[in-house]
Amino acid sequence: MARGAALDGWSRFVRLAKIMLPVLSLALLSVLFLLSRDHGTVPTIPYSDAEIDALAREQRLRAPDFAGVTQDGDAIRITAEEGRPDPREPSVVTAAGLSVTLQGTARDVALDAAVGRIDPASGTFSLGGGLTVRTSDGYDLDADGLDGRLDLTAMRSTGPVDGAGPLGDLSAGLLTLDAEGLTFDDGVALVYRPPT
């Protein structure tokens, strides 16, 4: 009789355990999931809605970099803060915040412009929106814009230039830069400043 009562008690315990143990494990898992959640701020995408719309509409290049060597042997490199393909001419890149460096045997030239256009198909580039020209032999000039070639050392200002050179302050209606050097044309004015 005692043995039957013990088996009856054990059976009840097993039936109760079959119900209580799964319920208890679900309760423990729920507590773990609730405690593991991060209740801090929800991370956000670092773009405004307007920027997201603009990114969806148009293609952009962040910090494009074009490099090559001209037929004259000068190394040319064009970098920009941002570029995008022209909608009418997909092979053309319009860019903002451009820098052009030309490293050659005669001199090194650095150009900085607000805006520009690079056309690898025709081998040309244009700089505008205000331009600075600095050379390793002492020229520091300002111009409205400049057109150049990617395959040759050949650049020409789109208007007058003014600034300083090794001999003093100068201005001219036109600046041409090629493998031979800088050429000033069209009403050149120089205020000579002798070396001290």
Top-ranked range on mean pLDDT: pick from 28-37, 45-54, 77-86 = 77-86
Q: What is the pLDDT of residues 104-114, one digit of tens each?
A: 867 899 999 99
Q: What is the pLDDT of residues 2-48, one digit of tens each?
A: 666 666 777 888 888 888 888 888 888 887 777 766 555 556 666 66
Q: The whole model's pTM is what?
A: 0.65
Which H helix or E strand runs over 13?
helix 2-36
Question: What DSSP letter does each residue of 138-186 carry, written as one string?
Answer: S-EEEES-EEEESSSSEEEESS-EEEEETTEEEEESEEEEETTEEEEES
Average pLDDT, the chain: 84
> Which phi-psi region, left, alpha or beta, contains residue 35 (left: φ > 0; alpha: ψ -120 to 50)?
alpha
